Chain A
Amino acid sequence: MKIAIASGKGGTGKTTVAVNFALAIGNAQLFDCDVEEPNCNLFLGVDLEKQEDVTISVPEIDAEKCSLCGSCAEFCRYNAIAKLPQRVMIFPKLCHGCGGCQIVCPENAISEIKRPIGIIEKGVDLGSGISLFQGTLAIGEPMATPVIRQLQAHINENRVAVVDSPPGTACPVIATVSDMDYCVLVTEPTPFGLNDLILAVEVVRQLEVPFGVIINRHGSGDDRVEEYCNSEDIPILMKIPYDREMAVLYSEGIPFVQRMPQWEKNFRALYREICSMSSNTSSGESCSEMSI
């Protein structure tokens, strides 16, 4: 069972929901796919150990063999290769690592070299049994998606995976959510929250991932998010109140389920509800595995 926690707008509470949800389920895998600024571990504080580098393949051109035909530059839709009168220049940060240039080169002059762009780390929270996997994109690197894909390769299909998504609706979100069994969209009851929720709904509908909404800081804004969800037949899975105690715990880096037992129950009930709505065939099985 793979559940993504996403949102259109940033700062709505994705990480709060992901961490509390994973803790309430227990023995889950938690993936921090917000690789441009991973922050789940602020709330878990586990010791992370590096698992591997993330690399992408970029072309290297053998100037001896190159006949300056320009096929590679013409092929590259990301404009990562420029053919000049005397030589060919490569712009590694524009390269998406598709390998097409190597295939179209008639002189066999192109080979691939691995360029590191980020790392994958892992740590275990002994109290809850959560395995946290964190991807970190190196500073200055533009492409998050290879890090996200490699991070998700660590998903163990026999365990529950809670996947904290980056915000927005662009490539990193699509890479995070595409392969999920269910997507929780976290929003807030504000005009910005609603606007970006509508965009996120369009994306998950395109991806054909079943989804529902959590309204965070409920009571702080207006009813338009609820009216929208009702009119679109989108299930509102949970409302997390705009609550001082939660805010204080958050400011201290403490997941609120650890101090507010009712919310542990609420998140478990949420998990059961998601299992019943998800089309994943193994979901029933995974749900029953939830101990305690």
Chain B
Amino acid sequence: MKICVTTKGSDLNATVDPHFGRCNNFLVVDSGTMDFESIGNNQGSASGGAGVQAAQQVIGKGINVLITGSVGPNAFSLLESEGIEMKIFSGGSVKEAIEAYNSGSLESIAAPNSPGKSRR
């Protein structure tokens, strides 16, 4: 299972970033081996459409699950259409987020929970 977690840092001890489109970094973690790849979010300061880019980027990595704080409407429609499971986590490390996911205690993001920024 490939799990993408939005983070402020670049390893498993880094804090989870509550923003999806404008997070610092994506950590793509193999939940079986805990091997991970850190991917910089190069659109974090885009004037608009950061969520679209972010979603495109992580979908391209073949992820199954996204763990973050909030997802805007454009990113949500992309992730949902690709059948990616979206889960809420905040206030802990990437490792804790994965453990919480494995224990089944994370709440799903069933609808966009951030206004996004579809305007300049």
Contact = CB atoms under 8 A, between A and B. Distances in A.
B50 A79 contact: yes
A91 interface: yes
B82 interface: yes
Given A78-B49, A79-B50, A79-B52, A84 B118 contact: no
Given A82-B78, A84-B81, A84-B82, A93 B118 contact: yes
A82 B52 CA distance: 6
Nearest to B75: A82
A91 B56 contact: no
A260 interface: no
B60 interface: yes
Contacts of A89: 77-78, 81
Interface residues on A, range: 10 to 19
Given A78-B49, A89-B78, A94 B118 contact: yes
Contacts of B120: 142-143, 170-171
A84 B48 contact: no
A73 B52 CA distance: 10
A77 to B, nearest CB: 9
B78 A79 contact: no
A41 B120 CA distance: 27
B6 interface: no
A91 B82 contact: no
A139 to B, nearest CB: 13
Contact of B74 (A83, A94, A171): A94
A24 interface: no
B56 to A, nearest CB: 4
Interface of B: 43, 46-50, 52-53, 55-56, 59-60, 74, 77-78, 81-82, 118-120
